[in-house]
């Protein structure tokens, strides 16, 4: 009887322990990984920036004299040729100054004629006195006075001639001011800006006022964009570039880097450089001032072995995957010891790590030497992977959107065990 009771007790204890383990013990649920294959194909590394579309050559037409705008002969989008009349400033003031300068010149010329006549008279008097001196009719003092008078007349003639030159220069200046009152286009092109109206007064002081802005040729445009100092190293003349504008969504325009200017541009302690991209605008669709979103190709590989960037960012969960952590430590032994909390990332430039499923189903790490990247894929330089091999890019989620390692304890999450009454919400 005791033996039967003992066997029943042992059986009951076994059932209790087995039920505890089955319903509340730790169980490791399998983790399913999302993978992607290593591919070969075109890979382009680009630098993106924002710029402004401008004419290749634009000329500001200003005024060299002050006055009121009397008439305008060009407007927005007007096609003008070099020498065409575009505006007129009221010339009355400058015409009066010109007339005054002309009168002054005539007066000085008359003074010169009078000085010449006076000099001729003084010369005749000197000759007469010299002849009388030989006959002793005059004294030597009279001769000296005559010589001095003649020299004074000669000096007065020279002063009058200098005044004529001065008056002529003033007349030329007045003619220039009168000429500048008529404003003509210095180049052939299209007027893209007009900043004045008839009756407006323009003042030519220390800064020349801008009346018109004329683009030399709108069929050839350029994009002026600022590239940060971190990306300027891969940009050189002749590099291909593509850009888009908001006016034509979904359409890409092509261009080429024409110039990388050495003058630094500092904005809020960020240093950038002006990169000029030449663009063909034969259809005149691009307008000056448009904002362009530019992508410049700095490197290009036609048949590159590439891996998705998601694989380089993936890191396996540590909870319940000690085997993966051990594999990561072995793979990264050359990079330094890795902790169980998070694998240590390499600090060597170009060195990355990807994960693939091992024979046991656990992830194992591979260190790679990488090259250029286009933001989605990265080139693999080493032969650690081959084309078509799968690499882990993430963990598959359940229908509810939870990962398998986020389940409550006792349901494959691998968490700490708690009593069944609490698990059941009792």
Closest CA to 87 of 215, 217, 212: 212
pLDDT at 14: 72
Nearest-angstrom CA–CA distance, 185 and 213: 10
Are 362 and 323 contacting, i.e. CB atoms less than 8 angstroms apart?
Answer: yes
Please give the structure tokens belonging to residue 287.
Answer: 């307008």
Between the CA of residue 9 and those of 2, 5, 24, 180, what are the distances in Å?
Answer: 11, 6, 22, 121
Q: Which two tokens stand for residue 22?
A: 């089955």
Backbone φ and ψ for 159, nearest 5 degrees, come out as: -60, -45
Query: Within 13 A of 140's CA, how many CA atoms are on the CB side?
Result: 0
Q: What is the DSSP string of 168-229?
A: HHHHHHHHHHHHHTEEE-SSSEEEEEE---TT-EE--SSSPPEEEEEES-TTEEEEEEEEET
CB atoms within 10 A of CB 334: 9
The counts of H helices and E strands in the chain are 6, 19
Q: Write out the chain's pLDDT in tens, 426 residues.
A: 666 666 676 677 777 666 655 555 455 556 788 889 888 998 888 899 999 999 999 999 999 999 999 999 999 999 999 999 999 999 999 999 999 999 999 999 999 999 999 999 989 988 888 888 877 788 888 888 889 999 999 999 999 999 999 999 999 999 999 999 999 999 999 999 999 999 999 988 777 788 999 998 899 999 999 999 988 988 999 999 999 999 999 899 999 999 999 999 998 888 999 999 999 999 999 999 999 999 998 888 888 899 899 988 988 876 444 444 444 444 444 333 333 333 333 334 467 888 988 877 788 888 888 888 888 899 888 877 888 889 888 888 755 444 444 444 444 444 444 444 334 333
pLDDT at 215: 93
């Amino acid at each position: 009887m005791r033996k039967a009771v003992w066997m029943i007790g042992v059986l009951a204890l076994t059932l209790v322990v087995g039920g505890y383990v089955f319903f509340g013990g730790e169980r490791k649920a399998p983790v399913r990984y999302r993978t992607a294959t290593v591919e070969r194909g075109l890979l382009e590394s680009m630098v993106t920036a924002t710029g402004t579309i401008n004419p290749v050559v634009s000329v500001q037409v200003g005024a060299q004299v002050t006055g009121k705008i009397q008439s305008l002969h060009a407007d927005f989008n007007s096609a003008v040729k070099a020498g065409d009349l575009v505006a007129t400033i009221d010339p009355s003031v400058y015409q009066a100054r010109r007339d005054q300068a002309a009168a002054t010149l005539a007066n000085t010329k008359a003074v010169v004629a009078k000085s010449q006549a006076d000099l001729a008279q003084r010369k005749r008097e000197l000759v007469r006195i010299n002849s009388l001196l030989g006959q002793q009719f005059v004294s030597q003092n009279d001769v000296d006075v005559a010589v001095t008078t003649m020299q004074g007349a000669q000096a007065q003639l020279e002063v009058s001639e200098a005044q004529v030159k001065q008056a002529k220069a003033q007349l030329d200046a007045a003619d220039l001011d009168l000429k500048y009152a008529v404003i003509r286009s210095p180049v052939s092109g299209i007027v893209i800006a007009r900043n004045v109206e008839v009756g407006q007064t323009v003042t030519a002081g220390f800064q020349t006022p801008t009346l018109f802005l004329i683009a030399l040729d709108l069929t050839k445009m350029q994009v002026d964009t600022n590239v940060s100092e971190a990306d300027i190293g891969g940009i050189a003349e002749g590099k291909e570039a593509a850009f888009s504008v908001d006016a034509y969504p979904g359409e890409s325009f092509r261009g080429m880097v024409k110039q990388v200017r050495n003058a630094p541009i500092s904005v809020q302690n960020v240093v950038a450089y002006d990169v000029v991209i030449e663009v063909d605008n034969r259809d005149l669709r691009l307008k000056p001032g448009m904002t362009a979103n530019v992508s410049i190709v700095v490197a290009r590989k036609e048949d590159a072995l590439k891996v998705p960037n998601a694989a380089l960012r993936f890191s396996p969960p540590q909870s319940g995957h000690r085997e993966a952590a051990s594999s990561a430590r072995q793979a990264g032994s050359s990079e330094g010891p890795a902790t169980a909390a998070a694998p240590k990332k390499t600090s060597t430039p170009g060195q990355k790590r990807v994960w693939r499923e091992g024979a046991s189903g656990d992830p194992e790490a591979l260190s790679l030497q990488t090259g250029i990247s286009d933001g989605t894929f990265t080139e693999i330089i080493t032969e650690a992977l081959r084309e078509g091999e799968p690499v882990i890019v993430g963990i598959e989620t359940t229908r509810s959107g939870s990962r398998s390692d986020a389940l409550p304890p006792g349901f494959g999450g691998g968490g700490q065990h708690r009593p069944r009454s609490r698990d059941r919400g009792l």
